[in-house]
Structure 1
Amino acid sequence: MGKIDDALRKLQKQGAATRKTGNGKGKPTNRRLPESVIPIARKKKVEIDGVKHHLDEEELIHKGLLAPLDQAIPVADEFRRIKRPLIDNALKQGEDHVDHMNLIMVASPLPGAGKTFCSVNLAASISLERELNVLLVDADVAKPHISDAFGLTDRPGLIDILEDETMSIEEVLVRTDLNDIQVLPAGRKHSQSTELLASERMEEVMHELATRYADRLIVLDSPPLMVTSEAQALATQVGQIALVVECGKTTSQEIQEALELLDTDKAINMILNKSLYSQTSGYYGGGYGYGTYGFNEEQ
């Protein structure tokens, strides 16, 4: 437990240091979270054909998937830091390279830690990279919060392409106007979703997502690890795992139990969420202090 406690204390210390270096004024910005951090000069990415699915950012703020406008810039800055080791791992080459490092699963030990908020904002931040694209996958098939908030519950998605092998990934991808992020919805609910996520077809789909586009990172919003068996099945398919823990609530024991469900060969990072609470915000993330460190229990 000592290593976990030390890691949490380190995250808390770094989160506090990061907040001290911010502007500290809390003034509202007249731009949304993604727009507020778009670089002035940026290499043009390959355009994706198709009509963009409109996302109402005010509604996403209300549903807790984007930060309120007065916190957009500090939250964006935090996710800049969070994404960097994940991107570095994804682009790493050499003997220590692990397959599918561009598949990043965002999970939490238990519900309520803010993993979906982190998934959406991580994807939004990665999409601002000059030479990278991002795909956001709603893999929380039991409670598809992303599909619901994005208005995609009636669209075919991950479960559908797992059950119907004649259906291609391209048929179900949705391009949004949130930084051109593409989304793979959860699809329809299925009584055998765990078996589908652990199937050979899932391996094929994940391999195609990981290898088809060299410049694409895939962020998968996972179910909580200790609540459903789907998360454990999903964890076997990815190269990286970002474990979201809730400051002041997630216990060391819960973190330990969650880690025991994961392959220790995976690249595991922890995101300390809700480390600074808002008195007025009701959004899902619930706070503005975020931090991440490369974390592996063997280290």
Structure 2
Amino acid sequence: MERLQAALQKARAQRETVVGEPARLRKPRGNFGQTRRRRTAAIDEVWQSLPEMEVNTDVWQLHRLFAYKGGADAAPFDLLRTKLLRLVRQHKWKRVAILSANADAGKSTTVANLALSFARQKDIHAMAIDFDLRRPSMGRLLGQHLQNNMGQVLRGEIPFERHVRRLGMNMAFAMNDLPVHQPAELLQSQRTEDFIKQIEEKYSTDLILFDMPPMMVADDAHGFLRWVDAALIVIEAEKTPVKQIDILERQVAELTNVAGIVLNKCNYSDEYTGSYNDYY
């Protein structure tokens, strides 16, 4: 891990020497605190009207979704939630994409766990939207029986409020049953940006998490990232090359803010991380 951090720091320094300055901070979209203060009983009623999610903790456990219950297994995702929340409040971000270089890095599992962790943060109203339209997996991971997808929602064929699923009174998931036709064109369209604005206004969201397709296998995320405030990059420990991480970070930084890098599937020891189990 130290070698990875050193290599990334060196690559960033080299880029800044060439470019002359770090990546520009994008203009924030809204005020986190004001959004929460403006929430009224009418907004709570709008959330209450959303259909509830099917809760199947056996399926969640099978798919390594542990953040719903708290405790030692949820601790890494709770820590990620807290760090992301600090950045969101500091920079007044409202839209965060989660992406990876290639498939099978555990990106969607990370998104689902992070969303379940936010569901336990009752003062935060958030949504998780599966925009990995070529290979959607969030619905499967969460054990949901779906009949529609976000492509139909974005095209106006079905209303969002019928498609989304609510968990508790502060978290909602928008998932897919099947892959969507022409996903890149759909995600890059002005219609998608207008849709997100409508969702933010109607549901007074503090944060929306977007599960995006891998950056290096399709152009879907490249066109969509201009609509978000920041992106989290998920990399697979001992699989994603450092050079590829640097390329990915540079590509993302040209399109939006880099909120951080999540090292996934890491075989860690208590010597470096402390013992969650002993503490909890």
- Please give the alpha-carbon distance, in whole angstroms, between the structure 1 residues aligned to 2:207 and 2:68: 26
Q: Which residue of structure 1 aligns with residue 79 of structure 2?
A: 81
Counterparts of residues 86-101 of structure 1 (less than 5 Å): 86-92=84-90, 101=93
1:268 aligns with 2:259: yes
- Please give the alpha-carbon distance, in whole angstroms, between the structure 2 residues aligned to 1:84 and 1:7: 26
Q: Which residue of structure 1 aligns with residue 197 of structure 2?
A: 207
The number of residues matched between the two structures is 234
Say if 1:134 and 1:248 are closer, same or farther in 2 by CA, change over 3 A. same
Say if 1:215 and 1:195 are closer, same or farther in 2 by CA, change over 3 A. closer
Q: Name the Cα RMSD after superposition.
A: 3.2
Counterparts of residues 187-202 of structure 1 (less than 5 Å): 188-202=178-192
Counterparts of residues 57-136 of structure 1 (less than 5 Å): 57-66=57-66, 73-92=71-90, 101-136=93-128
Deviations 1:213-272 (A, max 9, x none): 444321111111111221222322211211111222211111122123324441431111
SS at match of 1:226: coil
Say if 1:151 and 1:128 are closer, same or farther in 2 by CA, change over 3 A. closer
Q: Which amino acid aligns with 1:276?
A: N
- Please give the alpha-carbon distance, in whole angstroms, between the structure 2 residues aligned to 1:68 and 1:175: 14
Task: Give the deviation of 1:118 after TM superposition.
Answer: 0.9
Say if 1:214 and 1:223 are closer, same or farther in 2 by CA, change over 3 A. same
Identity within the alignment, %: 21
1:242 aligns with 2:240: no
SS at match of 2:73: helix
Deviations 1:147-203 (A, max 9, x none): 223344633232112222x643223211246x8631111355333111000001011
Q: What TM-score results when the alignment is normalised by the length of structure 2? A: 0.71
Say if 1:261 and 1:155 are closer, same or farther in 2 by CA, change over 3 A. farther
- Please give the alpha-carbon distance, in whole angstroms, between the structure 1 residues aligned to 2:208 and 2:83: 15
- Please give the alpha-carbon distance, in whole angstroms, between the structure 2 residues aligned to 1:153 and 1:137: 16
Partners of 1:137 and 1:186 within 8 A in 2: no
Match of 2:135 among 135, 143, 146: 143
- Structure 1 gaps, min length 5: 10-43, 279-288, 290-299
1:229 aligns with 2:229: no
SS at match of 2:227: coil
Q: Which amino acid aligns with 1:158?
A: M
More helix by share: 2
SS at match of 2:115: helix
- Structure 2 gaps, min length 5: 10-40, 274-280
- Please give the alpha-carbon distance, in whole angstroms, between the structure 2 residues aligned to 1:175 and 1:272: 29
Match of 2:153 among 151, 161, 174: 161
- Please give the alpha-carbon distance, in whole angstroms, between the structure 2 residues aligned to 1:65 and 1:49: 26
